[in-house]
Structure 1
Amino acid sequence: MKIVILGLYYRLPVFMQNLAVSLYGLMLYQQRYTGVYKRYRKKYARNSHEDLKREQKIQNKKFLRLLHYAAANSPFYREFYKDVPLDEIRTAADIGKLPILHKDMLRDNLDRIYTIPKRKSLIFYTGGTTGVPLEVRKRKADVRKRMAYLDAYKLSFGFENNKMKSARFFGKKIVADSPKKPVFWRTNYAGRQRLYSTYHLTEENLPYYVADLNRYKPAAIDGFVSAVYTVAKYMEDNGIKSAFTPKAVFTTSETVLPLHRETIERVFGCPLSDQYASNEGAPFIIQCRCGSYHEALDTGIFEHIPAEGGVKLLVTGFDTFGTPLIRYDIGDMIITTDKDRACACKSSHPVIAGISGRDTAFLITEKGRFSQVQLSVLVSSLSKTVSQMQFIQKKDGGIHVLCIGKEKNKENSSDKLLTALGQFFGTGTKITLEFTDSLYRLSSGKFQLIVKEEWMKEGKQRSYTQE
Structure 2
Amino acid sequence: MGNLQEKIYAKSPHFIQNWIVSLYNVLAYRKRYSGKYKHFINHYLKNRNLSVDQLNVIQANRYSEFVAYAKKHSEYYNKTLGGITASEDITNIAKLPIINKETLRSNYSGIYTIQKNEGIISKTGGTTGKSLEVLYTHDDVQERFALLDNFRGSFGYKLGKKTAWFSGKNLLSEKDINKKRFWKTDHIYNVRYYSTFHIHGKYLAYYLKNLIQYKPLYMVGFPSTMYEIAKYGLAKNIDFPENTIKAIFPTAETITDDIREVLEGYFKTNLYNQYASSEGAPFIFECKNKKLHLELQSGVFEVLDEENNPSEKGRLIVTSFNTHGTPLIRYDIGDQIELGTGTCTCGNNNPLVKEVLGRISDYIYSEEIGKINLGNISNALKGVKGIIKFQIQQDAIERLLVLIEKDETVFDTKYEEVFLKNLRDRVGAKIEIELRYVDAIPVEKSGKFRLIKNNIKDKIQNQ
One fold, TM greater than 0.5? Answer: yes
Give, in angstroms, the shift of residue 396 of structure 1: 5.5
1:177 and 1:342, CA in 2 relative to 1: closer, same or farther beyond 3 A?
farther
* Residues 59, 298 of structure 1: 8 Å contact kept: yes
RMSD: 2.2
Cα deviation for residue 437 of structure 1 reads: 4.0
After TM superposition, the structure 1 stretch with the greater mean CA deviation from structure 2, 253-262 or 385-394, is 385-394
Provide the C-alpha distance between the structure 1 equivalents of 2:55 and 2:221, rounded to a whole number of angstroms.
29
Amino-acid identity (%): 35
Task: Decide whether aligned partners of structure 1 residues 454 and 311 sit closer, same or farther in structure 2, where only a CA change above 3 A counts.
Answer: closer
**Contact preservation (8 Å) 2:254, 2:357:** yes
Distance verdict in 2 for CA 1:196–1:98, change over 3 Å:
same
Aligned residue for 2:272, secondary structure, equals strand
Q: CA deviation at 1:5?
A: 4.2
Q: Alpha-carbon deviations, 1:188-246, whole Å to 9, x = none?
A: 22332111100101111111111111111111101111111111111111111223522
The answer to whether structure 1 residue 299 and structure 2 residue 298 are counterparts is yes
Taking the TM superposition and a 5 Å limit, the aligned residue runs for 1:60-459 are 60-86=60-86, 89-90=88-89, 92-160=90-158, 162-176=159-173, 179-243=177-241, 244-307=243-306, 311-338=314-341, 341-365=342-366, 366-379=368-381, 381-395=382-396, 397-408=398-409, 410-452=412-454
How much has 1:187 moved relative to structure 2? 1.0
Q: Across the two proteins, how many residue pairs are aligned to each other?
A: 449
Residue type at the aligned position of 1:14? H
Q: Secondary structure of 1:314's match?
A: strand
User: Which secondary structure state, in structure 1, belongs to the residue aligned with residue 135 of structure 2?
Assistant: strand
Secondary structure of 1:342's aligned partner: coil
State the shift of 1:140 in Å.
Answer: 0.9
Q: Which moved more, 1:382-391 or 1:266-275?
A: 382-391
Task: Tell me whether 326-335 or 130-139 shows the greater mean CA deviation.
Answer: 130-139
**Moved beyond 6 Å, runs of 4+:** none
The verdict on how the C-alpha distance between 1:283 and 1:422 changes in structure 2, with shifts beyond 3 A counting, is closer
Q: Deviations over 1:319-377 (max 9, x none)?
A: 11111111111111112333xx2112132211111111111221122333210011122
> Any conservation in 1 of the 2:101–2:132 contact (CA below 8 Å)?
no
Query: Partner of 2:65: helix, strand, or coil?
Result: helix
More displaced stretch, 75-84 vs 34-43 = 34-43
Residue 57 of structure 2 is aligned to residue 54 of structure 1: no
Q: Verify the 8 A CA contact 2:380 2:419 in the aligned structure 1.
A: no
Q: Is the 2:384–2:415 Cα contact (8 Å) retained in structure 1? A: no
Contact 1:253 1:278 in 2 (8 A): yes
Q: What runs of 5+ residues in structure 1 fail to find an aligned partner? A: 456-467
Offset of 1:7 from its aligned partner? 4.1
Using the size of structure 1 for normalisation, the TM-score is 0.90
- Structure 2 distance, partners of 1:415, 1:347, is 47
> Which has the larger displacement, 93-102 or 150-159?
93-102
Question: What's the TM-score, normalizing by structure 2?
Answer: 0.91
| Distance in 2 between residues matched to 1:269 and 1:414, nearest whole Å | 30
SS at match of 1:191: coil
Structure 2: stretches of 5+ with no match in the other structure: 458-463
Determine the C-alpha separation between the residues in 2 that align with 1:89 and 1:47.
Answer: 24
Shift of residue 453, structure 1, vs aligned partner:
5.3
Distance 2:64 2:345 in 1: 31
Please state if 1:9 is matched with 2:9.
Answer: yes
Secondary structure at the aligned position of 2:194 is classed as strand
Residue 305 of structure 2: SS of its match in structure 1? Answer: strand
Aligned to 1:463: none
Of residues 261-270 and 234-243 in structure 1, the stretch that sits farther from structure 2 once superposed is 234-243
- Residue identity in the other structure for 1:391: I
Deviations 1:376-423 (A, max 9, x none): 2222x1442423322111325211212232453544543443344334
Q: Deviations over 1:83-137 (max 9, x none)?
A: 2123x643x3321121112221111111111111222211111222343322211
The 2-side partners of 1:39 and 1:67 are apart by 23
SS at match of 1:28: helix
- Give the aligned residue type for 2:124: T
| Alpha-carbon distance, 1:142 to partner | 1.7
Question: Are 1:407 and 1:413, in contact at CA under 8 Å, matched by a contact in 2?
Answer: no
